[in-house]
């Protein structure tokens, strides 16, 4: 195991909300909540000003509105977020060939592999330069953690938030980990955390004190041994440019077709439990649950459901698989069943992109290329009188120029006219079918042609 703190973890600060504040001068320094605005919507992310009121990611939007009624509530603009993410990832790849993205706004970097750092001093210099370059290129801030392992680098970046850098010095790891909740360790989700707590283990120090044998008794050999090593600050996971494992799945083929619906349900539940065992053994979690059914006539059906965030909870996977089964006709008999989990991540990584897609389900947003389904028909042109104007999205008016939607309803749409480089703009209201008003592309957050490190 390396001893120099040359593993870097970058986490952009309140990514979606910060991008919206940078794009909209009137929202800078104010509470901003990004997510689905419909009755089932959830918060994708929120600004630090909104967090003061208790708003947080994955919270139902209705609850967020009660806590922060005066915040700005916006629908995600995925195209803008992906564009910024690509700029950030390009900067990371200039540091090292070993960059492991975890989501749009988060990644690990092996600085030593790129000869960008080899000791504490060089790691600090690389981290500070990266933060400055991100600000110059994107106009946004990111927090950086530096340590000798992925687990510790992530803990360091969390401590650095917002807009900071923390380096964990070699030799201090055990003392730093001891008082922290068991939930900071990769692979410890809500279910595992509750199980450990019932066994009298709440902190990382408790795990170290309990010993490996007790962890194996509580969690099984694979999970227990790995978790005990993490508690002792031993994390041998390498930064990998591409994940070898895209999904974890199990399936069974039956010698005789199963016709009994009750037995089919029982088999799906059993497969879900086996799948979670493999997931935990790999110290992973996933956000998409997949059910595979091969019927008596060899036709194979797959159904999937994407959760708000990654999970390794067997109850959650069982329930999702059971819901998926309800949409499949098995009356003719089943010869194969399978359950899988994809969209993999370390459990402690919060997948904001997954959350945002769920959050925006009530506010239709064009899917990224390749994410459509074969059954989707081409969109019909929307009559002007029926156009929907999503809060926060970009528009352009023939007379007043570029702006963004503050809200709409009762046949009217309210627009604030401003750009990333103007001051707070004026507000005007139009009919939803005003021919002078049209949807527009997002503007860049930083003036083009400004080289990194110059601002």
CA atoms within 13 A on the CB side of 221: 0
Across 198-333, the runs of DSSP E, i.e. the strands, are 247-258, 285-295, 300-311
Q: What is the pLDDT of residue 241?
A: 85
Query: Does the annotation count 106 as an active-site position?
Result: yes
Q: Which two tokens stand for residue 68?
A: 């922060």
> What does the pLDDT look like over 105-162, one tens digit per residue?
999 999 999 999 999 999 999 999 999 999 999 999 999 999 999 999 999 999 999 9
pLDDT at residue 449 in the model: 56
For the chain, what is the mean pLDDT?
Answer: 86
Alpha carbon 201 to its chain's center: 28
Catalytic residue chosen out of the listed positions 106, 112, 173, 350: 106
Q: In what helix (H) or strand (E) does residue 73 lie, and over which residues does it extend? A: strand 72-74
What is the model's pLDDT at position 49?
Answer: 97
Q: How far from chain centre, in Å, is Cα 108?
A: 14
- Which pLDDT score is estimated for 245? 60
**Residue 154, pLDDT score:** 95
What contacts 315, CB < 8 A, 6 or more positions away?
191
CB of 333 within 8 A of CB of 295? yes
Q: Please report the pLDDT score of residue 428 as a whole number.
A: 96
Q: Shortest CA distance to 366 belongs to which of 346, 396, 388, 350?
A: 388
First to last CA, the chain: 38
Provide the pLDDT for residue 377: 33
- Mapped onto helix, strand or coil, the DSSP state of residue 332 is coil
Residues in the chain, pLDDT under 50: 347-382, 384-385, 450-455
Q: What pLDDT, on the 0 to 100 scale, is given for residue 416? A: 97
For 98, the 3-state DSSP assignment is coil
């Amino acid at each position: 195991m390396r001893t120099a703190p040359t593993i870097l973890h970058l986490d952009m600060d309140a990514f979606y909300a910060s991008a919206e504040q940078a794009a909209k001068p009137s929202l800078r320094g104010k509470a901003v909540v990004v997510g689905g605005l419909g009755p089932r919507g959830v918060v994708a992310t929120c600004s630090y000003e909104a967090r003061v009121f208790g708003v947080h990611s994955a919270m139902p939007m209705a609850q967020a509105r009660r806590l922060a009624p005066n915040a700005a509530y916006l629908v995600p603009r995925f195209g803008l977020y992906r564009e910024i993410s690509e700029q950030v990832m390009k900067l990371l790849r200039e540091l090292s060939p070993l960059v492991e993205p975890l989501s749009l706004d988060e990644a690990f970097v092996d600085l030593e592999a790129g000869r960008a750092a080899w000791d504490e001093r060089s790691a600090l210099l690389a981290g500070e330069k990266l933060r400055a370059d991100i600000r110059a290129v994107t106009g946004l801030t990111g927090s950086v953690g530096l340590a000798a392992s992925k687990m510790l680098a992530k803990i360091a970046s969390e401590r650095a938030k917002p807009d900071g850098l923390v380096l964990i010095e070699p030799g201090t790891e055990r003392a730093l980990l001891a008082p922290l909740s068991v939930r900071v360790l990769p692979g410890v989700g809500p279910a595992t955390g509750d199980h450990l707590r019932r066994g009298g283990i709440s902190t990382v120090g408790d795990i170290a004190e309990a010993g490996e044998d007790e962890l194996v008794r509580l969690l099984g050999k694979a999970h227990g041994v790995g978790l005990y090593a993490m508690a002792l600050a031993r994390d041998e996971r390498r930064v990998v440019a591409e994940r070898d494992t895209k999904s974890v799945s199990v399936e069974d083929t039956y010698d005789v077709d199963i016709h009994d619906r009750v037995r089919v349900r029982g088999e799906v539940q059993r497969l879900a439990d086996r799948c979670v065992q493999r997931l935990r053994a790999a110290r992973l979690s996933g956000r998409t649950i997949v059910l595979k059914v091969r019927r008596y006539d060899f036709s194979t059906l797959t159904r999937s459901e994407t959760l708000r965030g990654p999970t390794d909870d067997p109850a959650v996977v069982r329930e999702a698989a059971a819901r998926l089964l309800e949409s499949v006709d098995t009356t003719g008999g089943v010869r194969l069943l399978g359950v899988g989990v994809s969209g993999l991540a370390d459990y402690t990584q919060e997948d904001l992109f997954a959350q945002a897609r769920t959050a925006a389900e009530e506010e239709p947003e064009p899917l990224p290329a390749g994410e459509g389904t074969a059954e989707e028909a081409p969109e019909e042109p929307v009559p002007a009188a029926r156009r929907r104007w999503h809060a926060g999205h970009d528009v352009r008016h023939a007379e007043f120029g570029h702006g963004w939607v503050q809200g709409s309803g009762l046949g009217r749409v309210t627009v604030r006219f401003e750009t990333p480089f103007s001051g707070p703009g004026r507000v005007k209201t139009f009919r939803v079918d005003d021919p002078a008003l049209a949807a527009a592309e997002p503007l860049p957050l930083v003036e083009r042609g400004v080289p990194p490190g110059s601002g």
